[in-house]
Amino acid sequence: MPIDPAALRSAFGRFATGVTIVTCLDPKGQRVGLTVNSFSSLSLDPALVLWSLRVSSQALPAFVEAGHFAVNVLAETQMPLSRRFASPMPDRFAEGEWSAGEGGSPVLAHAAAVFECATEQRITVGDHELFVGRVLRLQEHDVPPLVFQAGHYRHLGRVL
């Protein structure tokens, strides 16, 4: 029996995730970024991360050609940036404090963590392109991360 896409999306939403903005520079030197919650650690040795992007995304060619990307793990206070980078608008980078990281990828100040990566591998699976990145530099700040679950932003709860 086929899986109903709406039911699948709802069930996936039960899994709480962090929220990131993944960024790169396109071949023309323009900054590209989007909100992503499909981010995961992959390996400690070598240091690798994984994230995915729909193959129908207009941003896909930029990330395919860039060679580098940055994963900016958002802090709770950066929820407006998450919404901004999830919406179509002409200059998403007009908000936030950005600097150039590895390969020129935009790095967000005051993020909970930042992973500056070189693209190690890409794999097309289903309707997504998986990006494996080798971590070249990282930074972290001891701030509460932004959490997303069941279609809503959430506060991280108390330690159990």
Domain 5-154 indexed as CATH 2.30.110.10: yes
Read out DSSP for 130-154? Answer: EEEEEEEEEEE-SSPBPEEETTEEE
Q: What are the residue boundaries of the structural domains of the chain, listed by start?
A: 5-154
Q: pLDDT tens for residues 52-100? A: 999 999 999 999 999 999 999 999 999 999 999 999 988 999 999 999 9
The per-residue pLDDT for 68 is 98
Q: What is the CA radius of gyration of the chain?
A: 15
pTM: 0.94
Is there a contact between 134 and 47 (Cβ–Cβ < 8 Å)? yes
- pLDDT confidence band for 49 (50 / 70 / 90): very high
List of residues 6+ apart from 60 with CB closer than 8 A: 53, 54, 129
Angle, alpha carbons 150-152-154 (nearest 5°): 105
Exposed, middle or buried by CB within 10 Å (0-12, 13-18, 19+), for 125? Answer: exposed
The per-residue pLDDT for 158 is 85
SS3 24: strand
Q: pLDDT tens for residues 115-151? A: 999 999 999 999 999 999 999 999 999 999 999 999 9
Is there a contact between 24 and 66 (Cβ–Cβ < 8 Å)? yes
